[in-house]
Amino acid sequence: MKITVWGCRGTLPTPGQHTLKYGGNTTCLEIRNKEGFLTIVDAGSGLRYLGKRIMQDGDSNEMCLMLTHSHWDHLMGFPFFIPAYFSKFKINVCGVQSARNYMAQSLARQLEAPYFPVNFDQLKADFNFSCKGPGCEKCVHLKVESIELSHPNGGYGFKFKEGKSCFVFLTDNELGYQHPGGRTVQDYVEFARDADLLFHDAQYTDEDIQKTRTWGHSTYNEVLDLAINANIKKLGLVHHDPDRTDDEIDEIVSELQTKAAARSTKLEIFAVYEGMQIELE
């Protein structure tokens, strides 16, 4: 599978001089399986750019859109997703039921005039909201498993497998506090165990978390422990705090690399950036 990152910023889009390297768009991933079938994970503001690419390339008339949860930063790009406006596209919306409901509702109700000039009824794409849930075999062309996130209002993390390769995506997950419906840290360790690649929410520093505990996100030190305990090969930090500058993210990565080396692990650590592409064989 090949993963392309269209947005990895947390909470809200943050364009500006201090976010040029890692990007300011909110969560959106493109995953292509070996046959090139398109699975999109989350509809943050990065989705707009992926939509433009799909229109340019013209080779993905059917796609699957998986949603981790219904917070606004993971859905806000959808009204600006150009393929939604053309009848030749079939969009299977799967993932979390509440997010699917929310998306249908937000398009049907919240984006009515005067908030948005287009009603859901006017979208021409063939929408399928009837998937059975994460990993629904009808529309996901990868093997997918899910786990409940520890996050306010809930949500799901996903594990994508193809052949021997395994990618785990846990965003908006608070390892240091168990929200209602969330799982224990050990559950997340088992879920991610031996993955080739883990993207995990690392929004906060140890100092931030004194004020932000229960907000639904993890510290980068908590994520390092998880990745080492789960025997991950490559760790990508995501859901960068909107106030985190490129320089600060660089410092975090170098601090974690030093800590990982001191613990004699071969774990590879980096911060995910917009435009990043990773291919798993």
Between 209 and 280, name the residue whose CB sits nearer to Zn ion.
209
Decide: residue 265, CB within 10 A, 0-12 exposed, 13-18 middle, 19+ buried: middle
Between 37 and 177, name the residue whose CB sits nearer to Zn ion.
177
Q: How far is the CB of 67 from Zn ion (least distance, A)?
A: 11
* CA gap 154, 96 in Å, rounded: 9
Q: What is the largest CA-CA distance in the chain?
A: 58
Between 71 and 200, name the residue whose CB sits nearer to Zn ion.
71
Give Cα separations from 259 to 48, 106, 224, 225, 248 (angstroms): 37, 44, 9, 10, 17
Q: Are 101 and 85 in contact (CB under 8 A)?
A: no
Between 42 and 162, name the residue whose CB sits nearer to Zn ion.
42
Stretch of 59-67, 112-120, 171-179, 190-198 lying at the interface with Zn ion (CB under 5 A): 171-179
Q: How far is the CB of 239 from Zn ion (least distance, A)?
A: 6
Reference 201, options 234, 163, 175, 225; nearest CA is 175
* CA gap 98, 86 in Å, rounded: 25
Which is it for the CA torsion 252, 255, 257, 259, positive or negative?
negative
Between 150 and 205, name the residue whose CB sits nearer to Zn ion.
150
Q: How far is the CB of 240 from Zn ion (least distance, A)?
A: 11
Q: x-or-dash pattern for Zn ion, window 46-85, by CB under 5 A? A: -------------------------x-x------------
Q: Are 182 and 220 in contact (CB under 8 A)?
A: no
The phi and psi torsions of 4 (rounded to 5 degrees) equal -120, 135
172 touches Zn ion (CB under 5 A): yes
Q: How far is the CB of 213 from Zn ion (least distance, A)?
A: 15
Say how many C-beta atoms besides its own lie within 10 A of residue 252's C-beta: 20
Q: How many angstroms separate the first and last alpha carbons of the chain? A: 7
148 touches Zn ion (CB under 5 A): no
Between 67 and 139, name the residue whose CB sits nearer to Zn ion.
67
42 touches Zn ion (CB under 5 A): no
Q: How far is the CB of 235 from Zn ion (least distance, A)?
A: 19
Reference 203, options 32, 14, 3, 50; nearest CA is 14
Q: How far is the CB of 119 from Zn ion (least distance, A)?
A: 27
Total binding residues toward Zn ion, as defined by CB under 5 A: 3
Q: x-or-dash pattern for Zn ion, window 6-35, by CB under 5 A? A: ------------------------------
Chain contacts with Zn ion (rule: CB under 5 A): 71, 73, 172
